[in-house]
Amino acid sequence: MSEAIERPASGAPPWEYASAPESTDIVRLDDRYGLFIGGEFVEPKSGRWFPTISPSTEETLAEVAEADAADIARAVDAARDAAPAWQHLAPAERAKFVFRIARQLQERAREFAVLETMNGGKPIREARDIDIPLAAAHFFYYAGWADKLEYAFPGRGTPTPVGVAGQIIPWNFPLLMAAWKVAPALAAGNTVVLKPAETTPLTALLLASVVQEAELPPGVVNIVTGAGETGAALVGAAVDKIAFTGSTEVGKAIRRATAGSGKRLTLELGGKAANIVFEDAPLDQAVEGVVNGIFFNQGHVCCAGSRLLVQEPVFDVVLDKLKERLQTLRVGDPLDKNTDIGAINSKAQLDKISELVESGVDEGAEIYQPECVLPERGFWFRPTLFTGVSQSHRIAREEIFGPVLSILTFRTPEEAIEKANNTPYGLSAGIWTEKGSRILHMAERLRAGVVWANTFNRFDPTSPFGGYKESGFGREGGLHGLEPYLSFDGGAQR
């Protein structure tokens, strides 16, 4: 080891950070947000509203409408009415509408970033540098496909839209998940009813105003807010396709609910990814990647590298480096530009993380958490490592969806593959090694939809994303992300 950095006994780094809060002046919130149906905000027929809060302060930011089945039917009708004209618009013109959305998101990027952080608790640095730019890039990428669909699937006849898509998205990347859903659907000529998560509706509602500014025909994009019941109503409504991102449990319920309906379905569900570090890996780089893999976005990431598999000869050194790195992570105000780990998205999620972490201790794993002062209000969880984890432990099997890393070891590549694949999930995996041939050998054998080599948690609009096994089916992103939104009138059908 090189000379250790001297630290105060508390484990805090030997330097002070000045606070660097991002101003919230750029965000103007209404007291109340109705449902965005047919191009305008309307009062819910349900007559019900619910508060949406900041998870870092527990303050109410606004009230949003709770859509019931009648509201959903109205939104689906609006989407249905808008479908023929949107489908038959010249593709180049449809492209230009989607380009407009991309450009407007770029124009208003900081406003979206601040609001995303306020409503969801993620660090402003991540919202500003990752979520919002990627969301805009998704619209830009798919805009370009709108008038090139005939090149995407040669030999399958004329591509036509599926019709009306019901889209249900999670709370971990609210605007980005909206972009993943809406951009390919619009480019392919579908109209949509989007339901954001109940804890993070505000950037989706701001997206509605961008849709208005872009002068999309009314009803092409509809955005309805609510919780699980609202989502269930959307699944049961007269839509042609459901696209869902969320938990495996709800994904299974949606598959059952749509059985026999003929509705097209894509599911992007949970994960329990293995991040595999070989002894020849560049270890400092690997440790950064492991930290990014599990602590990015508080670990609220379906593809998070939540199981670290370390080759035995380097276990001690990797663990030491990880512990050292954890002490420098800053947990706290997500609006502070120095913050690494923001607020846990909700009380319910905090309870779930706490319960699983307790199970880890109870089942005999060894816990490590750096000392750090947590704010008094809001929902917080310290970055957490577990060693002495066996494959049967709940923390090695279940998706925690929080800043909690379970560390296991392996001796041979075969053992790493065996352990990595020993899960019902199959969303992502990571490999850290200097040896290129080993990367490809491992990538071929890992049963996961995305494999990162010497990097982790990379996303790009051109790159398909999605899971094997119980992590879901269908792909979002890239050329493959168009297919779920298209039918073909000739050639081979899927």
List residues near another protein by CB under 8 A.
92, 95-96, 99, 137, 140-141, 143-145, 147-148, 151-152, 413-414, 436-438, 440-442, 444, 461-462, 478-479
Q: Which CB, 117 or 433, lies closer to another protein?
A: 433
CB of 379 to another protein, least distance (A): 36
CB of 442 to another protein, least distance (A): 8
Task: Work out whether the CA dihedral 176, 61, 242, 490 comes out positive or negative.
Answer: negative
Q: Which CB, 144 or 217, lies closer to another protein?
A: 144
CB of 410 to another protein, least distance (A): 12
CB of 389 to another protein, least distance (A): 24
Q: Which CB, 153 or 368, lies closer to another protein?
A: 153
CB of 481 to another protein, least distance (A): 11
> Tokens standing for 220?
């092409």
Of 22, 126, 268, 470, catalytic: 268
CB of 492 to another protein, least distance (A): 18
Q: Which CB, 93 or 249, lies closer to another protein?
A: 93
- Asked if 345 and 55 count as a contact pair (C-beta separation under 8 A), the reply is yes
Q: Which CB, 81 or 415, lies closer to another protein?
A: 415
Query: What are the Cα distances from residue 288, in Å, to 13, 106, 337, 432?
Result: 17, 29, 19, 11
Active-site annotation holds for 302: yes
Q: Which CB, 140 or 473, lies closer to another protein?
A: 140
Query: What are the Cα distances from residue 330, in Å, to 41, 113, 123, 303?
Result: 39, 19, 10, 22
Q: Which CB, 24 or 463, lies closer to another protein?
A: 463
Of 22, 66, 302, 303, catalytic: 302
Compute the distance between CA of residue 89 and CA of residue 216 in angstroms, rounded to an integer: 12
Beta bridge partners of 223: 36, 194
Active-site annotation holds for 288: no
- Asked if 188 and 483 count as a contact pair (C-beta separation under 8 A), the reply is no
Which of 172, 244, 249 lies closest to 403, judged by CA?
172
CB of 184 to another protein, least distance (A): 13
Q: Which CB, 92 or 348, lies closer to another protein?
A: 92
CB of 152 to another protein, least distance (A): 7
Amino acid at 299: G
Strand order in the sheet with 60-65: 32-33, 60-65, 49-53
CB of 441 to another protein, least distance (A): 5
Q: Which CB, 85 or 92, lies closer to another protein?
A: 92
CB of 244 to another protein, least distance (A): 25
Compute the distance between CA of residue 131 and CA of residue 206 in angstroms, rounded to an integer: 15
Residues marked as catalytic = 268, 302
